[in-house]
Amino acid sequence: MSHSALLVIAGAVVTFVLAALVFRPTGTAEERRMREERKVLRALEGQRRIQASRRAREEKRRMAVLDARRPPEPEPDNRQKIEEEDAGAERRAAERERKRREKEQAAELKAQRAADKAASRRAEQQRKEAAKAERAAERQRQQEEAAATRAEQEAPVPEAVASDEETTPLAELPLFSWANRDDDPPA
């Protein structure tokens, strides 16, 4: 291969690597899950619309076949037109009600997720605060232990009186008055 071909290939590889680094997904697991749920909801809504349009087409075909088989009827009076309009209005009202319920369910689900997320954040924050307080208490205990150890090391160690004779109890010692010292010169 020529040098220019190798340079082109190397440039393409570098471009692909940079694109992979720049355009990689950066969302959290919760965000990815939410995107997946939205995709599923959109797909389900699309399927529902497709099925509704298919039913409408089949209904039109069936009605066309039934209309073709029926003998021509006299011009329908206004009462029949009103009944048909009422039936259409009822269908539209039912559809609006169904959509309203779906929106309410979606809003409730969103609120529940937000509450769950906030609760998990609060629990995590409390756990972190408890761990921090525990570490601070441990540090304080270690500092106190170190201070006590230093104090013990710095304190003068009392020298033990070593005598071969038995020690005499204090009550048996002779009384001595500092006022009657013989070394003081008479005034």
Q: Is residue 166 part of a domain?
A: no
User: Do both 134 and 108 map to the same domain?
Assistant: yes
User: Do both 88 and 66 map to the same domain?
Assistant: no
Q: Is residue 168 part of a domain?
A: no
Average pLDDT (141-168) is 74
Domain count for the chain, please give it. 2
What pLDDT is stored for residue 47 in this prediction? 95
What pLDDT is stored for residue 58 in this prediction? 92
Q: Is residue 10 part of a domain?
A: no
Distance, CA of 43 to CA of 53 (rounded, Å): 15
CB neighbour list of residue 149: distance below 8 Å, 6 or more residues apart: none
Q: What global pTM score does this model have?
A: 0.32
User: Do both 142 and 87 map to the same domain?
Assistant: yes
Distance, CA of 96 to CA of 102 (rounded, Å): 10
**Six-digit token string for 94:** 């039912």
User: Do both 144 and 91 map to the same domain?
Assistant: yes
Q: What is the mean pLDDT of the chain?
A: 83
* Contact call for residues 30 and 117 (beta carbons, < 8 A): yes
User: Do both 89 and 121 map to the same domain?
Assistant: yes
Structural domain boundaries, residue 51: 34-71
User: Do both 94 and 58 map to the same domain?
Assistant: no
Average pLDDT (17-43) is 86
Q: pLDDT per residue over 92-124, tens digit each?
A: 999 999 999 999 999 999 999 999 999 999 999
Q: Is residue 51 part of a domain?
A: yes
What pLDDT is stored for residue 67 in this prediction? 72
* pLDDT-above-90 percentage for the chain: 49
Q: Is residue 164 part of a domain?
A: no
User: Do both 105 and 55 map to the same domain?
Assistant: no
More confident residue, 40 or 29: 40
If DSSP codes are grouped into helix, strand and coil, which group holds residue 49? helix
User: Do both 67 and 96 map to the same domain?
Assistant: no
Taking 70 as the threshold, does the pLDDT of residue 132 lie above it?
A: yes
Q: Is residue 156 part of a domain?
A: no
Q: pLDDT per residue over 48-94, tens digit each?
A: 999 999 999 999 988 887 777 776 655 656 777 777 788 888 889 99
Q: Is residue 18 part of a domain?
A: no
More confident residue, 90 or 179: 90
